[in-house]
Amino acid sequence: MNISFPLLLDGAMGTQLYKNGFPAGECPEKWSLEHPEVVRSIQRAYVDAGSRILYAPTFGANSTVLEKNGVFNKVKEYNSRLVALAKEAADGRAYVAGDISSTGAMLYPLGDASFEDLYRVYREQAEALEEAGVDLFVIETMMNVAEARAALLAVKDVSSKPVFVSFTCDEKGRTMTGTDVCAALLVMQGMGADAFGLNCSVGPKELIPQLRRLSALSEIPLIAKPNAGLPKSAGFRTVYDVSPEEFASYVPALADAGVSVFGGCCGTDERYIAALRSALSSVTLHAAPAADASALLPCATEREAFLLPADASVSVELACDEDLEDALTETEPGELIAVSIRTEEDLAVFSDCQYGVSNPLCIRCEDASLLERALRAYQGRALYEGNLPDDDLLPLARKYGLIF
């Protein structure tokens, strides 16, 4: 792919489908295949307006969501046909991204799904999208780190194409499950995402402070794909009150906040993309700030980001035993804790208790296989301390963001 910045994505699909007759309560992917002319028309309008990347309408085309909508054993077929629709609309003038989003499942202890359950669902869809010939992948509108990690691992296990990741958050930068988007960035960036950002959520103005925070930590391009403001009810309709002109007026401020990938989410259409294209014609992108030499260890739990000095040392050492869950709650905020994993039993205890980690975490382990399984279970970005050789650690750093 030959991508240059600023990069212009497309606008909304869901709210555009509603404008074109999609009935509430139906399966969007099924309805799109039954009304291909609607999808082609929406996406052709985006390409005409200047979009360089179209999101294939595969947002919910994973087995979990499709089955909730009464569609079974159609993941490969649906993804293939929906990608083909987007390719027809692109007609060689834009790249087509395989769109992956939430399953709606929650991990234990909040739900009954396992991480490997999520991974299998996402791998099935990623394989279908790769076979369908997408140019890149987008993992979007994510609300919890576990799903985003499962999706990113699945995509990278089946493809070497670029992967963009974006989360949705409130005005304070928190997802519905309480994750600070800065923590999500550090985890996704460490795992090899090619761009990271925010989509949906609120309007462009409200995202600017959060994107500034992300810019201070980001080593990859930042994405802004906001709604046309917050949705409001007008009679029996949902409306968005930010006009295309107002939407595009925030482009200089977004660029100043470090954004280099622009688009629109709910409530936007081809007019918004055309307005963005016009605004981007004269915008100056800003280089990411130089890394702070005093904060070289960008680790994270599932919810919080931590920037530790390069000489950070462990404050608390915890054993993987029946007291681990209680011990995790007794640590002081910000302390670097170490957990030693020596056996299968240690790993099982750690996996059950990892959701209780609220401090920066260092894992001590002398078995590469155990270490990888611990990193797979841990929904943050961990440090390592031990004697494993670089040949064992480097693949884990690339895949899971391990810091050593």
> Per residue, what are the HEC states of 222-239?
EEEEECCCCEEEECCEEE
Span 36-72, pLDDT tens digits: 999 999 999 999 999 999 999 999 999 999 999 999 9
Which tokens go with 72? Answer: 């079974």
H helix and E strand count, the chain: 16, 16
For residue 288, the model assigns a pLDDT of: 59
Instruction: Tell whether the model's pLDDT for residue 374 goes beyond 70.
Output: yes
CA angle 186, 188, 192 (to 5 degrees): 115
How would residue 73 be classed by pLDDT, with cut points 50, 70 and 90? Answer: very high
Question: Residue 186: is its pLDDT beyond 80?
Answer: yes
Question: Do 32 and 38 touch, CB atoms closer than 8 A?
Answer: yes
Please give the average per-residue pLDDT across 90-98, as a whole number. 98
pLDDT for the residue 294: 46
Q: For residue 261, which of 46, 9, 3 has the smallest C-alpha distance? A: 9
Give the pairing type, strands 53-55 and 316-318. Answer: unpaired
Q: pLDDT tier at 171 (50, 70, 90 boundaries)?
A: very high
Residue among 134, 131, 14, 129 nearest 79 (CA)? 129
Instruction: Indicate if the pLDDT at residue 293 is higher than 50.
Output: no
| Averaged pLDDT for residues 87-92 | 98
Domains and CATH numbers, the chain: 7-280 (3.20.20.330), 297-400 (3.20.20.20)
Average pLDDT, the chain: 95
Torsion angle, alpha carbons of 181, 221, 204, 304, to 10: 10
Task: Kindly report whether the global pTM for this prediction surpasses the value 0.75.
Answer: yes
Kindly report, residue by residue over 223-253, the tens digit of the pLDDT. 999 999 988 877 667 889 999 999 999 999 9
pLDDT attached to residue 20: 96
pLDDT higher than threshold 60 for residue 23? yes
